[in-house]
Amino acid sequence: MRRCCQGVGLPCLFKGVGMAGPRPPRFLLVFDFDETIVDENSDDSVVRGRALPEQLRQSPQGGYNEHMRRVLAFLGEQGVRPAELRAAYESIPLAPGMAELFQLLSKHQELFELVLISDANTFGVEAKLRAAGARSLFRKVFSNPASPDRRGVLTLGPYHSHKCLRCPANMCKAKILAEYLAERAREDVEFQRVLYVGDGANDFCPAGTLRAADVVFPRKGYPMHRLIQECQEKQPGVFQATVVPWESAVEVARYLQEMLRKKC
């Protein structure tokens, strides 16, 4: 019988021998949240029907993250507590076909690693994913930090700082994705393909960094889709990833099923 030498303070000579772990996932599937997983902008959803002062009803001056920090602070001052906001996030409808896509992914968790990168906030994103029964599908959620303070007011912060001129000051999704891929590579996990599902202008930045083997799923007619089309027209060949527009996430599910069928 083998004896592990760690018990006497020595490195185990049998580490990795006959103890192969599960195979790493082949595909990284990245999701946006607002108007991608859910069918609305979650910031709009939580303020709908609430009376805001004129300065908060106008178009944001400066960064949108800072604007929402002020909005949430005002709501807190008016007595709106996190439990009420959580219920608002939980009630946001999923985008068409998203439940079916999650069902497919739940059956193939050994093949797909899921992460979410969103310029919303962790409080709302986590609340909705749990309400939808989908939180366990995601290995990581990257979003602006939000949590109740000692007064019971939901506070919001920026995700990070960066030097990208295209993205809002609080978040560059390309930087987050690049850092995540580097982290997983250090853990000896490298993906055959990166698959990106999104809708917004801030999803165009990370999508533009992907390779020809990768696939981008822009929501049809939304800013990400329009920016990709403009790039393809003005700079042919610059945008490398395969582009698969969708109106229902069932179309994304069908593409993934066909991809698995072909074993590519």
Judge whether 188 is annotated as a binding position: no
Note if 32 is an active site residue.
Answer: yes
Sequence-ordered list of residues with C-beta below 8 angstroms from that of 186, at least 6 positions apart, any chain:
none
* 199 annotated ligand-binding residue: yes
- Residue 20 has what pLDDT? 54
Q: What is the pLDDT of residue 21?
A: 60
Residue 262: alpha-carbon gap to chain centroid? 27
Distance (Å, whole) CA 113 – CA 136: 11
Q: What is the pLDDT of residues 47-85, one digit of tens each?
A: 998 888 888 877 676 688 998 999 999 999 999 999 999
Can you give the pLDDT of all 264 residues of the chain as single tens digits? Answer: 333 434 444 444 334 444 456 677 899 999 999 999 999 999 999 999 888 888 887 767 668 899 899 999 999 999 999 999 999 999 999 999 999 999 999 999 999 999 999 999 999 999 999 999 999 999 999 999 999 998 889 999 999 999 999 999 999 999 999 999 999 999 999 999 999 999 999 999 999 999 999 999 999 999 999 999 999 999 999 999 999 999 999 999 999 999 999 876
3-state secondary structure 58-126: CCCCCCHHHHHHHHHHHHHHCCCCHHHHHHHHHCCCECCCHHHHHHHHHHCCCCEEEEEEECCCHHHHH
Structure tokens, 114:
């899921």
**Tokens matching residue 243:** 């582009």
Left if phi > 0, otherwise alpha if psi is -120 to 50, otherwise beta: which for 168?
beta
Question: What pLDDT is attached to residue 224?
Answer: 97
Domain boundaries, the chain: 27-262
Residue 203 is among the residues annotated as catalytic for this protein: no
Q: Is 34 annotated as a binding residue?
A: yes
Question: Would you say 39 is a known binding-site residue?
Answer: no
- 174 contacts: CB under 8 Å, gap ≥ 6: 164, 167, 205, 206, 208, 209
Q: Which CATH number fits domain 27-262: 3.40.50.1000, 3.40.30.10, 3.30.450.20, 1.10.357.140?
A: 3.40.50.1000
